[in-house]
Amino acid sequence: MLLALGAPAIVAAVLLWELSLPRLRVLAPKLAAMFTRARERAARDRQVDFDPGRERRAERRARALLRSCVNDEEWSMYRDLGFLRVSGGGAPHGNPAASYAYLIYPHRPIVAYLPQTGALLNEYCVAFPDHSRPYGSTRLPDADDVLAKWMALTADERRLIADANMHLPGRQLDPEQVRDDLARLARWERGRSAWPEDARATPKESARAGTADPVRAGAKGVEGRERVAHARRAASSVPAR
């Protein structure tokens, strides 16, 4: 019985081998080339391992460049809150009468919203991938990603929005988180308007001028305590959503 089944099985296997041999001869060099490319890619990736020090230096350079391009208020906003607001439709930045505005987050979608009501309109997913992958990644440093979005939005809003993938709010960003960010922004603006003009400067400038953000720097003395209390009162007068 075993012999009766085994003999045809062996014959079938030999026939299959004979039939597939020409195809294997054609495929073999392609498979070898594929494995070689995979080995080279793996070796290249090993050479450009993630280096936290390099990334930190890159981010420091990117922040310095961003700071030199945007105005003082926008830089302070990014430094303190981690995002930038840009008014839509070419309205002056921070104009409360602007019909709509955008929040720019690093490596997250741009969010359009109505400043008057805080209603979220859309998420615009857009990226600036550098396919040359100089250090194994296509991602720009965070501040460079924000700068690229800021430059593209302020220069040609329509083009950037046309290139982006549009989604309803909540696709990638939690709408509650965005509303919290808008509330933080409102508190921050109230607090900032309450600070003396010289305290609105960046910490380095403030240090040079002998002043600093009263809340962040923990101002001392009667005058400092009054400034802190004043700033906190102004900040707490905007209810968080």
Partner 1 sequence: MRLLRLKPGHGEVVLAEGDVEVPAEEAALIEAFRRELDAGMWAAVPTERRDGRREAELVKSFGDVPRDAERVIFFPRAAGGAL
Phi, psi dihedrals of residue 165, rounded to the nearest 5°: -90, 120
Two structure tokens written together for 171: 């696709």
Site membership for partner 1, residue 125 (CB under 8 A): yes
Question: Which residue bears the tokens 């490319």?
Answer: 37
Q: Which of residues 173-192 bind partner 1 (CB under 8 A)?
A: none
Residues 104, 74 contacting (CB under 8 angstroms): no
With a CB cutoff of 8 Å and minimum separation 6, the contacts of 232 are 191, 215
Two structure tokens written together for 68: 């030199």
Site membership for partner 1, residue 215 (CB under 8 A): no
Two structure tokens written together for 121: 């309109």
The correct pick among 88, 106, 115, 141 for binding partner 1 (CB under 8 A) is 141
The correct pick among 79, 114, 128, 203 for binding partner 1 (CB under 8 A) is 128
Choose one: 14-22, 148-156, 180-188, 226-234; the region binding partner 1 (CB under 8 A): 148-156
Q: What is the largest CA-CA distance in the chain?
A: 104
Site membership for partner 1, residue 84 (CB under 8 A): no
Q: How far is the CB of 190 from partner 1 (least distance, A)?
A: 22
Binding residues for partner 1 (CB under 8 A): 48, 51, 54-55, 57-62, 65, 68-71, 74, 92-93, 109, 125-141, 144, 147-148, 150-152, 154-156, 159-160, 163-165, 172
